[in-house]
Structure 1
Amino acid sequence: MHDLPILVNITVALIAAFAGGIVARVLKLPPTVGYLLGGVAISPFTPGYIGDTNTIQQLAEMGIAFLMFGVGLHFSLQDLWEVRRIAFPGALFQLLILTPLVVLVTSLWGWSFPSALIVGLAVPIATSTVVMLRNLMDQGLLNTSPGKAAIGWLVLEDLITVLILVLIPTLSYHASGPIWQTVAIALLKAAAFATIMLIAGTRVIPVLLSRISLTASRELFIVAIVLVALGTAIAASAFFGISLALGAFLAGAVINESILTQQVESEILPFRETFTVLFFVSIGMLVNPIHLLGHLREIALLAVIIIVGKYLLTLLMGIAFRWPERTTLVLAAGRGQIGEFAFILGETGVAVGLLAEEQYSILLVGAIVSIIINPFIFRTLPVTEQLLRKAPLLWARIQQLPDQQAAGDVAYHDHVVIVGFGRVGEHIIKVLGLLHIPRLVVELNVQRIHKLNQKQIPTLYGDVANSDILVHAQVDKARAVVVTIPDETAAEIAVMNARRLSPAVPIIVRATTQAGLHRLFARGATAVIQPELEGGLEIVSLTLSALDFPKEQIIEYIDSVRSDLYDTSKLTPAEQHALEQIAAHRASQT
């Protein structure tokens, strides 16, 4: 085993992350918390197996690269521009107010200015994208005005974080030149690399991937994507002296401008998820629980600044700038936490010697506390709104502009919930529209959501396999639920959730395998359609019709096969009877 250190450490780290993730899900906490605790379990500071910190740290660097590559794939200046009146003043004032506050507090603890500054920058701009998206999805808010404002603000924070990652190493230099010169050189290098990527990269990388996709080799396409993500990150570091994170981010942003975005995202997802988990484990390995017991006061104060400070400051900005009331409340709730970008900033600070591991641990635990508490803050939105309504002066000041109402807030009744907007879902939506039947679409693909919104079709952005989105779809008031997604595992979860919410609603679902068909019925589906087997039945029906057999007897046979769950390996009495009737008709004709 000692001859395979990388393999052993990957396996142990993933086992720890898996165990921690299961515990977190049972406790209804974000899986990220479980991954971090898994890292603590195999750290040098806890009993039991000790992971190789250096090996896992190198794997974590790949996690950072894939994570930032994914951020680049979703980066949209258009989203930012649409909410510029909220995102720009919001981000600016949080930086101007919270950063000096955190720097002052941590300086009183005896921290050096660079250490205090890194933590001070992490608090206002390192809101966790993962946590924010999950909470918005769970509340059915992602494709509403408040959700779009939150996403636009996150996009701006991504840009600021990338800029800070460029500047952090300059604080550690001990060159004889002035600091402004060092900063200017770092910015020029970053600008030069960004220019090359945006001019040459946009002309080379998408064309390269397009041509590789024409080879019909999925393996080559995946290798090419990984090479683009990691190769660009390493080139940025080796030739321009900038961070791996910036290189990977720009690689993703370049691909985002092409038609390959969705395909690249689906192929890179397993790599991104796996190595991002290793990144979180590596962070957990830096935490010394014994040492933190002596810093509970600092952790508690930092957590209060993150949770309460960001919440109240966002709420006050909403009142001052007269943002729409729903947007103000959602932004205040969502911003009371920090996550993966705080870890990346802290990791970079530790790597260049500006932040001690003990200081990083305090930032890390403060972030974990905020991530744990944030979902509960979202659930207090109705209570907060009621309290504000009792203060007429404040409520009148923020209630200036109409908000786009969330689909989950609309009083739906006798509608059809359609999960998935592929070819099958699109056909059903069109037919229901022609029949003037209310419908609500649940979809995870942002481009499809935009297409539906343009047609003014009600939508909810969400993953039925991981969120409470069906609650906001008001399945309990629906006439039917239609699940068209090809992923059988997600379809099973959707069926179970829908049946839990409404024991009587008809659930029509698509299956892709014979075994999946039986499982979906067992989960509570009313009807399950297997397109391939249904196509086979249609071929049988057309063949018998061409042979002039009676239509009624053909339909009887087809219906009997369907009632037997498409099992053609044996004849049921109903199928036997139908075939005998067909044979008897043939005999009577001859």
Structure 2
Amino acid sequence: MGILLDLTIIFSIAALVLYLSARVRIPTIVGLLFSGLIAGPHGLRLVQATEEVELLAEIGILLLLFTIGMEFSLEKLLKTRKWIFAGGGMQVLFTTGLIFLVSRLVGLTWQQSLFTGFLFSLSSTAIVLHLLQEKGKMDSKYGGSALAILIFQDVAIIPMMLLVPYLSEAGGEGMHGLLELGKGILIVAVIIFLARKIIPGILRSVVHTRNQELFLMTILVICFATAMITYQLGLKLALGAFLAGLIVSESEFSYDALSHMLPLKKIFTSIFFISIGMLLNVSFFAGNAFMIIGLTILVMMIKTSVIVAVGLQLKLSIRNALIVGLSLCQVGEFAFVLANAGRDSAILSTDQNQVFLAVSIFSMAVSPFIIGLAPKIATWVVTRGAIKKFARKTEFNLVGKHLHRCTKRNHLVIIGFGSSGQILAGQAHENDIGYSIIELNEKISTQFLNEGEPVFPGDGRSEDVLLHAAADRAKTIVIAVHDAAAAEAITIASRKINHSAHIIVRSRFSSEIETLIKLGANEVIPERLEAARRISERTIVQFTKMA
């Protein structure tokens, strides 16, 4: 009855906390961590069977890494390899390096410093992707860049976990440590090779039975058996689970397997995050509040600075680089998985673990508010003094020295040359309507310049760019960009230089209409509302034909 009672208490508290979290828009992970804090030994002490809870949490880690392995796609990596490998690689490397130096300055050993760098280099995939999807920013330039860095971080945890045993005092040193690491990599390669030859055939046979329960049990056996084999060979259970997911991802049944595993993963990973919350000592946090808040600010500033520098190096505008940096400045959920492995190897002391937990949870708690304000903060920063001059060189300045200033009058200006802008340009051409185009993406603008389109590469928020495209003499200005904050800034800039133009803005949500109209737009067309209308019209047409 002990474990059943404890689970009832845990899930009851979690349900209440998650309800309240949803009401005040706090991420689910933060709510689960606080649930553990309330129920745990440092809170109300409602849970007694802590060992059993930790066992269930271990299953949660296995299922979490298993599903990450199943979602891992080599094709996805290759599509955005520049940002994943260069952007994500530099972010993890430089963040780890800077945290390592700071940790050494405060007296940590080199092993502890490197491990701390690993922990704080990771960001929260769950929080960031949820908020970007909620705000409809996944297709934006900064949304795609943030996703690429997160993908690299999710993959980077595997080599980090391989290194954990060699960072402990009892771990390998010198050549012995390198040999052990090489042995681990070899074991991983052999398991993947053998399993890819065996697993697809097994899954094919199971699928032919059309028995859903058998399919689920087979997937679980693959997960736990691979984890046990890697553990027996001296590697981490979690690494084995990731490998099992990677093996299943190569099968044509991977999506079906993933859909079966998601409910189980959600339940057990919830228990994992609750168990992490149970470890946080409130008294320790209260007694060291100023230090913890200071360290949290320092970690977030380091991560933001590194990501901004990496973004600028990869030709991202300073504004978008700032938004990515602010979005990824928190510590992530996979840091808890890594810290769990570190506790087994006793890399950090009890107090050092408490500092890590407090900084991580605090950074995750404030993250939604920072991400929500990131576009406004970035816009404010790039309009200040010296930053404004630098921003004009990197993002607001007209890249299009290929073209002289546009001489057209009473024409159409299209800002944002994605699919909507291209369709509009085609219609304008067919109807002999003169037009000019403003496009920030250098690859797109270069492509269409070479095709003879009147493209002015640059940022529509800049008056210089607008004037070069003759927006001050335009009859109609169409703003078709994905970023809502950018659309607002372009609307303001366009109305400032042209009081009489008819400004049409494409938006994602109907909630943005009122703001854009106040800023100077004449018409705002929400994508989702327009799509719903067209679907309704087509549906009615079909039924009218039938009648």
**TM-score of the aligned structures, taking structure 1 as reference length:** 0.65
CA pair 48-410 structure 1, distance change in 2 beyond 3 A = farther
* CA–CA distance in structure 2, aligned partners of residues 313 and 127 of structure 1: 13
1:168 aligns with 2:161: no
Aligned to 2:517: none
Deviation at 1:194, TM superposition (A): 2.3
Q: Distance in 2 between matches of 1:245 and 1:259?
A: 24
Structure 1 unaligned residues grouped into runs of 5+: 412-457, 461-470, 479-500, 511-525, 530-537, 539-553, 556-590
Residue 293 of structure 2 corresponds to 300
Structure 1 residues 308 and 174 mapped into 2: Cα distance closer, same or farther (>3 Å)? Answer: closer
2:351 is aligned, of 349, 358, 378, to: 358
Measure how far apart 1:38 and its partner are: 0.8
- 1:232 lines up with 2:229 in the alignment: no
Aligned to 1:83, which of 76, 80, 85?
80
Counterparts of 1:32-431 in structure 2 under 5 Å? 32-107=29-104, 109-124=106-121, 126-172=122-168, 174=170, 178-189=173-184, 191-238=185-232, 240-324=233-317, 327-379=320-372, 380-389=374-383, 391-398=388-395
Deviations 1:45-94 (A, max 9, x none): 22341332211111111111111111112212333333333333434443
Retained in 2: the 8 A contact 1:72–1:256?
yes
Would the aligned equivalents of 2:88 and 2:150 in 1 still touch at CA under 8 Å? no
Looking at structure 2, the residues matched to 332 and 406 of structure 1 have their Cα atoms a distance apart, in angstroms, of 26
CA contact (8 A) 1:144 1:406 kept: no
Instruction: Give yes or no for contact 1:141–1:406 (8 Å, CA) kept in 2.
Output: no
> Matched residues in 1 for 2:507 and 2:128: separation?
17
Mapped partners of 1:293, 1:228: distance in 2: 45
Instruction: Give me the whole-angstrom Cα distance separating, in 2, the residues matched to 1:506 and 1:254.
Output: 39
Q: In the TM superposition, what whole-angstrom CA distance separates every residue of 1:347-377 from its partner, at most 9, and x where no partner exists? A: 1111111123332222122122222222222
* Contact 2:88/2:148, CA 8 A, preserved across alignment: no
Q: Which letter maps to 2:280?
A: V
The 8 Å contact of residues 308 and 336 in structure 1, kept in 2 or not, is answered as yes
Q: Give per-residue Cα distances to partners, 1:202-243, cap 9 Å, x unaligned.
A: 2222332222122111111111112222221122112x2111
Cα root mean square deviation, aligned: 3.8
Aligned to 2:508: 473
**Alpha-carbon shift at residue 324 of structure 1 (Å):** 4.4
CA contact (8 A) 2:98 2:302 kept: no
Aligned-residue sequence identity (percent) comes to: 25
Change in Cα spacing, 1:395 to 1:16, as seen in structure 2 (3 Å) is: farther
Q: Which runs of 5+ in 2 are unaligned?
A: 401-414, 422-479, 483-505, 514-525
Conservation of the 8 A alpha-carbon contact between 1:288 and 1:361:
yes
AA aligned to 2:69 is: G
In the alignment, the residues of structure 2 paired with residue 406 and residue 8 of structure 1 have an alpha-carbon distance, to the nearest angstrom, of 59
Contact 2:318 2:382 in 1 (8 A): no
Deviations 1:238-281 (A, max 9, x none): 2x211122111111122222222221111101110000001001
Counterpart AA for 2:258: E
CA distance in 2, matches of 1:98, 1:370: 16
Distance, in Å, in 1 between the alignment partners of 2:25 and 2:507 is: 19
Instruction: Verify the 8 A CA contact 2:317 2:394 in the aligned structure 1.
Output: no
**Maintained 8 Å contact 2:303/2:329:** yes
Q: Give the Cα–Cα distance (whole angstroms) in 2 for the partners of residues 508 and 320 of structure 1.
A: 43
Q: 1:358 to 1:173 in 2, by over 3 A?
A: closer
Is the Cα–Cα contact under 8 Å of residues 39 and 278 in structure 2 kept in the other structure? yes
> What is the TM-score normalised by the length of structure 2?
0.70
CA distance in 2, matches of 1:141, 1:14: 33
8 Å Cα contact 2:284/2:354 also seen in 1: no
Where 1:375 maps in the other structure, the secondary structure is helix
Give the corresponding residue for 1:16: 13
| TM-aligned CA distance change 1:178 to 1:313, over 3 Å | closer
For 1:33, give the aligned amino acid: V
Q: Distance in 1 between matches of 2:247 and 2:218?
A: 14
Cα gap change, 1:505/1:121 in structure 2, threshold over 3 Å: closer, same or farther? closer
**Offset of 1:19 from its aligned partner?**
2.3
Compared CA separation, residues 406 and 131, structure 1 to 2 (3 A): farther
Q: Given residue 242 of structure 1, which amino acid in structure 2 is its aligned partner?
A: L
Structure 1 position 505, deviation (Å): 9.0
Q: Give the letter aligned to residue 166 of structure 2.
A: T
Separation in 2 of the partners of 1:68 and 1:93?
Answer: 23
* More moved, 81-90 vs 48-57: 81-90
Which of these two proteins has the greater Rg computed from alpha carbons? 1
CA distance in 2, matches of 1:52, 1:266: 31
Does structure 2 conserve the Cα–Cα contact (< 8 Å) formed by 1:233 and 1:247? yes
1:27 corresponds to 2:24: yes
Q: Deviations over 1:518-574 (max 9, x none)?
A: xxxxxxxx99x9xxxxxxxx9xxxxxxxxxxxxxxx97xxxxxxxxxxxxxxxxxxx
Residues in 1 aligned to 2:17 and 2:62: alpha-carbon distance in whole angstroms: 23
1:474 aligned partner, one-letter code:
F
**How many Å separate the matches in 1 of 2:6 and 2:416?**
48
Give the Cα–Cα distance (whole angstroms) in 2 for the partners of residues 258 and 130 of structure 1.
Answer: 25
Measure the CA separation in 1 of the matches of 2:417 and 2:203: 38
| SS of residue in 2 equivalent to 1:61 | helix
Cα deviation code 1:441-497 (max 9, x no counterpart): xxxxxxxxxxxxxxxxx999xxxxxxxxxx96334699xxxxxxxxxxxxxxxxxxx
Cross-structure match for 2:501 = none
d(CA) in 2 for partners of 1:459, 1:265: 34
- 1:146 and 1:57 map into 2 onto residues whose CA distance is 37
SS of equivalent residue, structure 1 residue 203: helix
Aligned to 2:428: none
CA distance in 1 between counterparts of 2:48 and 2:533 reads 48
